[in-house]
Chain A
């Protein structure tokens, strides 16, 4: 800082001398201000549009949506449909994740078979899985099983591909180190390969949770008797636009909570990786 200009207040100077409050200087404050600001502007514009120009029957109305959202608690939407969807998500994630991890680990070891199957896996993965929902209903009925099946079909491939990537992209230096230290096969796997693969595995699983939820809700939209997707379809069909958006809001909150939980677990488990990533951002 230039000594000759102590009386001229500048943004930089106030940053350096700490006159700006800590919560603003840390960057977290600014980020939250931007977030809240954008949401406020969008909701405000929405409210105005619904009041002045477009019928709330089509686009809903934020104030009414907030009321509907409040009223959801205590109704079967929260006590029956939400648990149903979460249960389907859970089973879809557990079964799909397990299949993906086991299949990925097997394919990573048998690289000839992986090379042979690669085009097939890519083709199956690019297939719009939602299109399978009707056939899953035929196979597994209109209950939870068909939704779990759809989730498994989504989660399985995502976890499979990330597992193969995590286990095959090993560092050459680390492989050479393991060899020069005379590590046996078990030590090589547990001390040199797996720890480095965990961040990729975890990010695959994180994506898997979101897709499992997506699979469950989509399956319910196509057909079923319980679940948030079923309710969404019902509200839209009966022109209960505000309730529709209230359930959508509930969906968004639940997904965000699941993601936040996964991130929290990841940071606790992979402190080294978190530190490394933070360093890369500067």
Chain B
């Protein structure tokens, strides 16, 4: 793994305890052969505690790269970035990452997959199992606790992955298009699960999606990223009341107005569209 020597020192934020993610002028480039390709340019974003923030933008614009920087899976090259006031680090306690693909371990049952993060933290077995059962129950998979990955449908796998992501009570949940691989109906079910689950968890969410409707449905704020090299183009506050239901929102005028105003701006960023 190559560490980029030019990474600047990261300012440690102590002042504001309510700030979970603080990004200032974050820039990032991929080193692809001849010349580095700029992916993110001067992106600045602040995510407050218990906030649900979605990032939307044209595909390939650098959304996932930004999330990976926050997760510490990608090394910061330029700018300032803090997570809970510290430099991001992969595997930081309290930060959980949900992938676009389920990444379930095929040799573990659904329940054993959910207990995995707690195992790594050394939480006692009885406590792990109780928590896993509670979560599987909440995502509607109590009957499938002993099923292996190959015995679960794609939607069920994502639900197990969701249960695993929140298993160790993370304070920050990073989600990279977790429902992208699902069909339309299952995706709406998953959004319902997530909306139902979050009030029980004291958690801040940074959510990447290419589905604008999904972003509006779930979020307190929607961040619109420009095309490559990505910067933050605009931030929209979603003032729809909670609890929300993905199906009922479909007939909500405010939802459609928000969708249209964000879509108009997003369309400018999609290549080949005006």
* Contact, CB under 8 Å: A180 / B106: no
Whether A135 is near chain B, meaning CB under 8 Å from some CB there, is no
* Contact, CB under 8 Å: A181 / B107: no
CA–CA, A273 to B119, complex, Å?
A: 22
* Contact, CB under 8 Å: A180 / B91: yes
Interface residues of B in 129-150 (CB under 8 A from A): 148-150
* Contact, CB under 8 Å: B117 / A181: yes
Pick the interface stretch among A27-35, A124-132, A169-177.
A169-177
Whether B99 is near chain A, meaning CB under 8 Å from some CB there, is yes
B89-111 vs A, CB cutoff 8 Å, 1 = contact: the mask equals 01111001101010101111100
Interface residues of A in 141-194 (CB under 8 A from B): 173-174, 176-177, 179-183, 187, 191-192
Whether A272 is near chain B, meaning CB under 8 Å from some CB there, is yes
CA–CA, A181 to B113, complex, Å?
A: 12
Counted as pairs of residues, one from A and one from B, with CB atoms less than 8 Å apart, the total is 62
Knowing A177-B99, A182-B120 touch, does A272 contact B91 (C-beta < 8 A)? no
Knowing A176-B73, A192-B105, A272-B107 touch, does A181 contact B91 (C-beta < 8 A)? yes
Q: Determine how close the nearest CB of chain B comes to the CB of A176; give it in whole angstroms.
A: 7
Whether B224 is near chain A, meaning CB under 8 Å from some CB there, is no
Contacts of B101 in A (CB 8 A): 173
Knowing A173-B101, A180-B73, A276-B148 touch, does A191 contact B106 (C-beta < 8 A)? no
* Contact, CB under 8 Å: B93 / A196: no
* Contact, CB under 8 Å: B151 / A176: no
Whether A6 is near chain B, meaning CB under 8 Å from some CB there, is no
* Contact, CB under 8 Å: A179 / B90: yes
* Contact, CB under 8 Å: B103 / A176: yes
CA–CA, A11 to B174, complex, Å?
A: 55
* Contact, CB under 8 Å: B107 / A183: no
Whether A279 is near chain B, meaning CB under 8 Å from some CB there, is yes
* Contact, CB under 8 Å: B91 / A183: yes
* Contact, CB under 8 Å: A181 / B120: yes
Contact of B90 among A173, A180, A276, A280 (CB under 8 A): A180
* Contact, CB under 8 Å: A174 / B103: yes
CA–CA, A279 to B91, complex, Å?
A: 34
Considering the complex, give the chain B residue whose CB is closest to the CB of A179.
B90
Whether B212 is near chain A, meaning CB under 8 Å from some CB there, is no
* Contact, CB under 8 Å: B106 / A272: yes
Contacts of A279 in B (CB 8 A): 150-151
* Contact, CB under 8 Å: B107 / A195: yes
Whether A275 is near chain B, meaning CB under 8 Å from some CB there, is yes
* Contact, CB under 8 Å: A179 / B73: yes
Q: Determine how close the nearest CB of chain B comes to the CB of A200; give it in whole angstroms.
A: 12
Contacts of A198 in B (CB 8 A): 107
Contacts of A276 in B (CB 8 A): 106, 148-150
CA–CA, A14 to B117, complex, Å?
A: 51
Considering the complex, give the chain A residue whose CB is closest to the CB of B151.
A275
Whether B71 is near chain A, meaning CB under 8 Å from some CB there, is yes
Contact of B99 among A173, A191, A196, A270 (CB under 8 A): A173
Q: Determine how close the nearest CB of chain B comes to the CB of A175; give it in whole angstroms.
A: 9
Knowing A187-B120, A195-B105, A196-B106 touch, does A182 contact B99 (C-beta < 8 A)? no
CA–CA, A210 to B100, complex, Å?
A: 43
* Contact, CB under 8 Å: B107 / A196: yes
Knowing A173-B103, A276-B150 touch, does A183 contact B97 (C-beta < 8 A)? no
Whether B194 is near chain A, meaning CB under 8 Å from some CB there, is no
Considering the complex, give the chain B residue whose CB is closest to the CB of A183.
B120
Knowing A176-B73, A272-B107 touch, does A181 contact B151 (C-beta < 8 A)? no
Contacts of B108 in A (CB 8 A): 195, 272
* Contact, CB under 8 Å: B103 / A179: no
Contacts of B109 in A (CB 8 A): 272
* Contact, CB under 8 Å: A174 / B105: yes
Whether B116 is near chain A, meaning CB under 8 Å from some CB there, is yes
* Contact, CB under 8 Å: B71 / A180: yes
Contact of B92 among A177, A182, A192 (CB under 8 A): A182
Contacts of A181 in B (CB 8 A): 91, 116-117, 120
Known: A181-B120, A182-B91. 11 other contacts (CB 8 A): A173-B101, A176-B73, A176-B99, A179-B90, A181-B91, A191-B120, A195-B105, A198-B107, A272-B106, A279-B150, A280-B150
12 residue pairs bridging A and B, Cβ less than 8 Å apart? A176-B99, A176-B103, A180-B90, A182-B90, A192-B105, A195-B108, A272-B106, A272-B108, A272-B109, A273-B106, A276-B148, A276-B150
6 nearest A-B residue pairs (beta carbon): A182-B91, A180-B97, A276-B150, A173-B103, A195-B107, A177-B103
Chain A residues proximal to chain B, CB less than 8 Å: 173-174, 176-177, 179-183, 187, 191-192, 195-196, 198, 270, 272-273, 275-276, 279-280
